[in-house]
Every structure is written in structure tokens, then in C-alpha cells.
């Protein structure tokens, strides 16, 4: 199975700053990578699918890029509600797997 | 509005069984694949199982293969997960999630609120 490695594990930033989250795959997933946001006690929410497509209702400050094995989720200017856990997930083949997550916390 | 509501979680002894259900509404259930994803306490996300729109094709994570069975009742807009031979490591919140297509490996959107399964003596 494809292993997804997210870095850093924790990102400490202030509101208004730019957040850059990384997801690296153990083999190519083409462009088949998604990003999710999860807040404590809540279900994950889809942010980005197939590398760079924002899901319905997701603000433009969230953007995704990359291809093959290296992907990035960028939050251009952090809002208070963006401090949360973020997971990447591939759909290149079965089984779909998730990365271990990056926590974006308030500095 | 798409809604997914899970039920059936609870406390079960090791070796026991449990059946989870997910009631879907707000979309044409018969046109979409569905999945179960779980999250152990303080842990990350793990895909468990997926089923095609017709129910004719299903997939399982190696960790649950042979013990769990996914099924769907398209007449009742309901997804199920029959879990047998439960182990302590199956303890998790189990989420039901909609897939964007009828079949194939996909992303998950939206997710239900989850139901907690605890396997302990």
C-alpha cells in the first residue's frame, strides 16, 4: 500500500500568517490526492480533491498543489477557525490511505 | 442537504459482534459508492471498507478482511458494516462517508458524525 508522510507534525503559527503543509507519497499517486480538515470532536471535512480542486464551500485561502509524490496544502492567511488537524489521502489505488496528519496550532 | 447518520456503536467484548448502520438522505443514494473510515482514540484516519453504488463490488482493509462485511440496502438508503471477531484494536469512532462516484477508489465527502465502538472486557 502507498504510505503518505505528512510534515511537519505540528506547525505553530499566528493568525494572518501563511501555512504550508507537506504530504509525500511512497510512490506516485498521480494527481489523486485530497486534503481534509478535522477539528476536535468533529468529523473530517473535505478541503481539496485531486490535488488542487477546492470542495464546495471551501474558502479561496485554501489551495493545493503538487503531483506524483510531493504535494502541498497552503493556507494563505490563517483565520482563527483554521487552527485544526489536516490530513492528506490518496485515491490512486486500493487501499486509499491517509497521512498521519499535521496539527496547525496557534503560536 | 446531504446527511449521514451512523448508529449501532457501543461496548462489546473481544470476539463479539456489532452491526453499524448509516442512514443517508439528501442525495440519490443508489448513484454513489459509500465507505467506512475509522479513527482510533487519539489516532489518525484509517479507511476500513468501501462498496460500489449497486453493492456488487466491495473492498476491505487487510486489517478487517474476513471479519467485517459491508453491505447496503438501496431501497432504504442505508449502509451497514457487520463486524465480527472484534479485537481491542478495532476500538474507534467509525465514520460513514459518501464517495463522489459510483465505483472506484475515491475521496470522502461528506462524513457522518461517527459512532463509537469500544472493544473491551
Over residues B26-50, the pLDDT tens digits come to 999 999 999 999 999 999 999 999 9
Other CB atoms within 10 A of residue B10 CB: 11
Report the C-alpha gap between B77 and A33 in whole angstroms: 28
C-alpha cell recorded at residue B16? 463479539
Closest among A101, A93, A43, A44 to A73, alpha carbons compared: A101
**Cβ-based contacts of A46 with chain B (< 8 Å):** 107-110
Beta A10-13 vs A102-106: how paired, if at all?
A: parallel
The predicted pLDDT at position B101 comes to 86
Cβ contact, residue pair A43, B46, below 8 Å: no
Beta A45-49 vs A102-106: how paired, if at all?
A: unpaired
- Which residue of B lies nearest to A102 if distances are taken between CA atoms? B44
The predicted pLDDT at position A100 comes to 98
The predicted pLDDT at position B105 comes to 83
**Cβ-based contacts of A91 with chain B (< 8 Å):** 104-107
- Which residue of B lies nearest to A47 if distances are taken between CA atoms? B109
* Tally of CA atoms within 13 A in the half-sphere of A69 that contains its CB: 7
Cβ contact, residue pair A43, B113, below 8 Å: yes
The predicted pLDDT at position B102 comes to 81
pLDDT in tens, B58-78: 999 999 999 999 999 999 999
Confidence band, pLDDT 50/70/90 cuts, at residue B104: confident
The predicted pLDDT at position B103 comes to 84
- Which residue of B lies nearest to A44 if distances are taken between CA atoms? B111
Cβ contact, residue pair A91, B61, below 8 Å: no
Amino acid at each position: 500500500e502507498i504510505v503518505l508522510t505528512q510534515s511537519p507534525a505540528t506547525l505553530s503559527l499566528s493568525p494572518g500568517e501563511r501555512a504550508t503543509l507537506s504530504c509525500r507519497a511512497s510512490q506516485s499517486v498521480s494527481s489523486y490526492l485530497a486534503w481534509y480538515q478535522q477539528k476536535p470532536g468533529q468529523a473530517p471535512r473535505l478541503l481539496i480533491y485531486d490535488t488542487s480542486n477546492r470542495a464546495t464551500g471551501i474558502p479561496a485561502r485554501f489551495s493545493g498543489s503538487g503531483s506524483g509524490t510531493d504535494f502541498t496544502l497552503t493556507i494563505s492567511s490563517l483565520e482563527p477557525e483554521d487552527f485544526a488537524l489536516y490530513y492528506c489521502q490518496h485515491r490512486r489505488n486500493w487501499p486509499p490511505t491517509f497521512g498521519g496528519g499535521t496539527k496547525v496550532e496557534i503560536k | 442537504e446531504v446527511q449521514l447518520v451512523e448508529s449501532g456503536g457501543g461496548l462489546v467484548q473481544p470476539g463479539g459482534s456489532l452491526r453499524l448502520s448509516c442512514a443517508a438522505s439528501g442525495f440519490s443514494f443508489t448513484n454513489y459508492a459509500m465507505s467506512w473510515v475509522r479513527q482510533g482514540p487519539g489516532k489518525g484516519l484509517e479507511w476500513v471498507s468501501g462498496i460500489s453504488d449497486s453493492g456488487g463490488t466491495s473492498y476491505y482493509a487487510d486489517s478487517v478482511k474476513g471479519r467485517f462485511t459491508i453491505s447496503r440496502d438501496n431501497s432504504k438508503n442505508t449502509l451497514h458494516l457487520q463486524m465480527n471477531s472484534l479485537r481491542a484494536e478495532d476500538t474507534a469512532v467509525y465514520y460513514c462517508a459518501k464517495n463522489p462516484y459510483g465505483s472506484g477508489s475515491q475521496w470522502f465527502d461528506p462524513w457522518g458524525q461517527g459512532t463509537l465502538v469500544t472493544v473491551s472486557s
